[in-house]
Homo-oligomer: A and B are copies of this chain.
């Protein structure tokens, strides 16, 4: 076993021979075997034991681990943690949280290169099965990694040098070398955790089908881990080009998403859902990407999902991305010569009333855009009202001979995103819409040969006027 673990520790776990390694030792056969093997291989070791305070045997277990550390002349660290005192987590979760917090503190204080745990091939098989049984749209279907970074440290990895050794082999090793293994009795209670249930009730039955079922499952985890790594690297390349994060919001290029093979489409959506989207959520998002429409709708866990032009957006429902478009919060009056603020960086400006011939001049030198119009100042009632489109509101767009259309339809046809329509600015004179900024001017207020006085209305960023042409609003 020594040679096998030596190669695995070096080549796969990436352990360097002369920097300290913290070994997490519970006192069970796996961790005692790990301690003994790494010690024989000559790694400088630090022994760490976490005392969960859950069972009467725990004191005895700690004493045994300490004796094993002392016998080898190794530093010994321990901590008594009150797992039951951690609220809001399952007992298992709480124990893991306290244990890893302790292990990483030891690793930092001893400047260790890594923390080694005694996870075996059997643990690997159980982990893969658990992922499969729980449905793992989220984390990807794979087992534990031989070397991995955890949320506890950005630098110190967790390594698992026994990942290709069976539990049976560690027990035999301990027996052969006279190591005083302590078995946690709760490990044997199938009701205790899903993992124990799997270990004692399910896996033994799988060996009826294949005596080496655990090995087969661990191999599958290995294959799937490599495929997962490759698929994620492929996704990385796509993501760098076609996904953009804006605060907590994520924007995916919809055409590029639909051009991906299904496997990467699903992974892109899982990533956009921060790894928490289950299979059904991923499929719902893909269905929306294929047949977009409608306002933002809830995705899962407080996220909303919507399509805007060529983008699929994912953002928290409570805090959608800031609109890159003018939005109105409350109705405001607007008289000639005034500038009123809209939300964000936008303002709406009405020029002083000018004689019509001045407008004629202006007309010559600049091309008016949908964000800047001239109107007949005598056909409206001042002050104008700048407000939002109430349901059912209609206007008579320029060029339609006075025929009216619903404002909501005009906004839709202009490609204004759903989430921006409710607070889109509308400029109203009495009850008539005179301007729908970014979309249309009203027929009724147009400048004609009879016009004597004009006012220019424009929407601009405080930094400067919008350029002509179509604007991507998001």
Contact = CB atoms under 8 A, between A and B. Distances in A.
A41 interface: no
Contacts of A380: none
A219 B262 contact: no
A139 to B, nearest CB: 12
Interface in A233-271: 233, 261-264, 266
Given A197-B208, A205-B205, A209-B194, A227 B231 contact: yes
Interface stretch (A126-134, A319-327, A428-436): A126-134
A382 interface: no
Contact of A133 (B201, B209, B230, B261): B209
Nearest to A140: B223
Contacts of A219: 135, 137, 279
- Of the candidates A134, A206, A266, the one having the most CB atoms from chain B within 10 angstroms of its own CB is A206
A210 B261 contact: no
B263 A133 contact: no
Contacts of A133: 206, 209-210, 213, 216-217
Interface in A66-110: none
Interface string A193-234: 010011001100110111011011101101110110111010
Contacts of A217: 132-133
A179 interface: no
Given A217-B133, A231-B227, A202 B206 contact: yes
A141 interface: yes
B279 A130 contact: no
Nearest to A282: B223
Contact of A210 (B134, B205, B210, B266): B134
A134 B207 CA distance: 10
B220 A132 contact: yes
Main secondary structure of the interface of A (DSSP, over half): helix
B230 A264 contact: yes
Contacts of A209: 130, 133-134, 194, 197-198
A369 interface: no
Nearest to A214: B133
A163 to B, nearest CB: 14
A463 B217 CA distance: 56
Contacts of A266: 223, 226
A136 interface: yes
Given A209-B130, A220-B136, A261 B233 contact: yes
Nearest to A265: B226
A226 B141 contact: no
Given A202-B206, A212-B135, A229-B261, A141 B220 contact: yes
Interface in A151-203: 194, 197-198, 201-202
A135 B210 contact: yes
A348 B345 CA distance: 88
A-B pairs with lowest CB-CB distance, top 6? A135-B216, A230-B263, A227-B263, A226-B263, A226-B262, A194-B209
21 contacts: A128-B132, A130-B209, A133-B206, A133-B210, A133-B216, A134-B210, A134-B216, A135-B210, A135-B215, A135-B216, A136-B216, A198-B209, A202-B205, A219-B279, A226-B262, A226-B263, A227-B227, A227-B231, A229-B263, A230-B231, A230-B263
Given A130-B209, A227-B227, 5 more contacts: A135-B212, A194-B209, A202-B202, A230-B231, A230-B261
